[in-house]
Amino acid sequence: MTIKKGFFFAFAAIIILIPVYVAMSSQNVLDNGKLYKFKPMAYDPLDPFRGKFLRVNYETDFVLTKFDFDEGETAYVSIGVDKEGFAFFKEAHKSPPATEDYLTTKIRRSRLARSLEDQIAAMEEGGFDPSKMDTRGEVSIDIPNNMNKYFINEDDALKAEKVFVTEREHIYIGVRILGGEARLEDIYVHDQPIKEYLHK
Amino acid sequence: MNATQFLLNFADKIEQKEIVNQSTAIKIRSYIRKLEDSTPIELFLIISGIMGALFCAAGIFSIIGHNWDEYSKTVRGVLSILPAVIALYFYYRAIFHHPKSRPWIEASSVFLMLMIGASIALVSQTYQLDGDFKQFIKVWAVLTIPLFYFARASGITILYLGLISALVVDVSFGWFGIPNIGEDENSMWYWYLLLGFLPHYYISLKKKNRSQSVRVIYMSYVVYLSLLLAMLVTVKGNYFLWIATTSAAFYLLGKRFMGENTSIFGRPFQLFGQLWIATLLISLSNKDWMNFIFRNDSFIQMFKPEGPNSLYRELDSELNTERIFYFVIVQLLMVGLYIVYFLLKKHFKDVSKLVLFTPLFLFVMMILHEFLLPEWMVVFLVNAYIILLGLNAFIVGSENRNVPQMIYGFLLISILLWLRYFDTDWNFLVKGGVFIGVGAIFFLINLTQKGKLERIHRNKTRRDDN
């Protein structure tokens, strides 16, 4: 009986530790990760299945890469910040970049870069220096894990969806990134967390 | 008034009328009470317990769905273990304070399993983890396995196998919402997680006698359906050999462990195994159908990809490698099946050799059809095999007084008769002669068996008591 109790408490400890572990690792990313502001691309109506949530989409096409990727292959995407301070998926790598923040995802579609096609056309017309050519290809990627659902209180969900339409230009998504892990911190409307904005 | 109460009253009555004396009446009453079966009421308690657990769990999931985001992330993170802790408390009570009570154990196991999922769902809601759904299932399933062994809970079988079946089947929706079913990339995990469950099933199955309780029959149905689904999406090619071999294997397994269950629905492996085998053979009994099937599904086509009208024609080498891989596995399965049968023959009673050797028969027919015999001979052999199968079921069923088996044999032969009457284009005279010949055989069988009925009638009218 005592052995069985020992096993039971070990089992119980594992069951409890798993949510605790997930919570702590998430909290770690939120506390220590660098904050990036992403512009949302579009949004879907909400889905009442696992509690209500807002689905957030990002610009995931036209990610540059030096490598040949197959569809479905794992890629490490570095994060860049543009002049206005918004983040974007900069470049897809085959191994995690050492110096930059990155996220792990899968390749959705791999194709020749449009800019590359333009450059080839320019080369055929002449007057183009091949040594300066940008030979990087372009890929489309899946949205990395843990970035595209924002679970929200059922009473706020409808209001939040309307805000998504009316305040589209003034919304960005705060994502904390640490060691290849992303956590969606909050959705900001006029630099306020969406929850505060709705209850103002 | 139930049967026990009725019999007890009857015992009282014959005591009052002094048909039996008092001491005999006491003996009769205690015997009647001992006979009373507790299974139905226990089953009722288990099912209502599980229902309670399911509804409570659904309610808790819905409350989680509200999303209590007015509290801070830390508070919600800590509270997310609450469902699991509550369920663990009930489970603890069940296995240490009511270890003999099946309703307690089954209901608390179902509740704990669902609450493990609820805790993980709650923490991922708090931290906005859309997460990888398949990853979530893996963690959930691994955490469920101990529940089978702590207190041998079986009610969660359907939840567990349903959960892990989601790892093997990949359903995607194509144009116009037409579902597209394929193999998931996590399919190996299905087999690993199934291995975690099978010891529990085997321990429940293994008994001295060969009759099984409702619990095991229920698990057998779930196991069979889950395995069937998994094999349908993972196996590539050679479907006829696969279905025949696995059906024969299930049939043998059923004979070993549940041969003494009285109703055919209490022997799911035999039921499904025989239905599949009858269906396969019937579908091969016509020349055109057989040509079509063998052209597309015979293993021989794998080795000659340029066949005239073959689905194997596209020289997709990766697919063909997979097909050969699954062909080797089915061959190993078949050899293993017969080795097990011949080595452990004394454990298997009343096995129909015709059902058991159907996979081998199909295998040989595929070779004969391709190389040695003209088509009509192969078709004839298949039809003869079905007649034998039907006759065998008919006669064995009559010997064992097993009405469903007799009906099965009768149906098999009548379906065959019906199909052959309309699709054979022989000379009418020849066809008539053959059909009358087969009919005559049935009358002959009738003559030989007539004696049995007469003996029973004689016995009924015999008067021993005067």
Residue contact B130–A154, C-beta within 8 A: no
**Residue A133 pLDDT class (50, 70, 90 cuts):** low
> Which pLDDT does position B304 carry in this prediction?
67
Task: With a threshold of 0.90, tell me whether the complex ipTM lies above it.
Answer: no
CA atoms within 13 A on the CB side of B459: 6
Mind listing the pLDDT tens digit for each residue in A9-42? 999 999 888 888 888 888 888 888 888 888 776 5
In terms of average pLDDT, the best of A26-35, A165-174, B176-185, B380-389 is B380-389
Query: Would the pLDDT of B244 be above 90?
Result: yes
Query: Would the pLDDT of B286 be above 70?
Result: yes
For residue A148, the distance in angstroms to the closest alpha carbon of chain B comes to: 7
DSSP letter for each residue of B309-361? T-GGGS--HHHHHHHHHHHHHHHHHHHHHHHHHHHTGGG--S--HHHHTHHHH
Lowest-pLDDT range, A108-117, B42-51, B409-418?
A: A108-117
Measured between alpha carbons, how far apart are the two ends of chain A, in Å? 58
A152 to chain B: closest CA residue: B67
B141 to chain A: closest CA residue: A15
- Mark out the alpha helices in chain A (DSSP H runs): 2-32, 114-125, 154-166, 194-198
Which of B65, B127, B132 faces A51 most closely, judged by CB atoms? B65
Tell whether A5 lies on the interface with B, counting CB pairs under 8 A: yes
Mind listing the pLDDT tens digit for each residue in B339-365? 999 998 888 878 888 889 999 999 999
Q: What is the mean pLDDT of residues B224-252?
A: 90
For residue A166, the distance in angstroms to the closest alpha carbon of chain B comes to: 23
Which of B67, B92, B129 faces A152 most closely, judged by CB atoms? B67
CB-CB neighbors (< 8 A) of B69 in chain A: 151-153, 156, 195
* pTM of the model as a whole: 0.80
CA dihedral over B283, B286, B289, B293, signed as positive or negative: positive
Closest CA to B224 of B196, B199, B198, B203: B198
Query: Would the pLDDT of B321 be above 90?
Result: no
Q: What is the mean pLDDT of residues B267-282?
A: 92
Q: What is the mean pLDDT of residues A94-120?
A: 77
Which of A8, A23, A153 faces B123 most closely, judged by CB atoms? A23
Q: What is the mean pLDDT of residues B81-103?
A: 91
DSSP letter for each residue of A78-94? EEEE-TTS-EEEEEEES
> Which pLDDT does position A112 carry in this prediction?
59
Tell whether A12 lies on the interface with B, counting CB pairs under 8 A: yes
**Residue B142 pLDDT class (50, 70, 90 cuts):** very high
Residue contact A153–B131, C-beta within 8 A: no
Cβ–Cβ contacts within 10 Å for residue B221, how many?
17
B129 to chain A: closest CA residue: A146
The SS3 call for residue B17 is: coil
Residue contact B66–A152, C-beta within 8 A: no
> Which pLDDT does position B40 carry in this prediction?
79
> Which pLDDT does position B111 carry in this prediction?
94
Tell whether A8 lies on the interface with B, counting CB pairs under 8 A: yes
Q: What is the pLDDT of chain A when averaged over all its residues?
A: 80
For residue A59, the distance in angstroms to the closest alpha carbon of chain B comes to: 18
Mind listing the pLDDT tens digit for each residue in B14-41? 888 888 888 888 888 888 888 777 777 8
DSSP letter for each residue of B35-48? H---HHHHHHHHHH
The SS3 call for residue B72 is: coil
> Which pLDDT does position B301 carry in this prediction?
75
Q: What CA–CA distance (Å, rounded) separates B132 from B186?
A: 12
Which of B77, B88, B129 faces A27 most closely, judged by CB atoms? B77
Q: What CA–CA distance (Å, rounded) separates A79 from A146?
A: 16
Query: Would the pLDDT of B4 be above 90?
Result: no
Q: What CA–CA distance (Å, rounded) separates B340 from B4?
A: 45
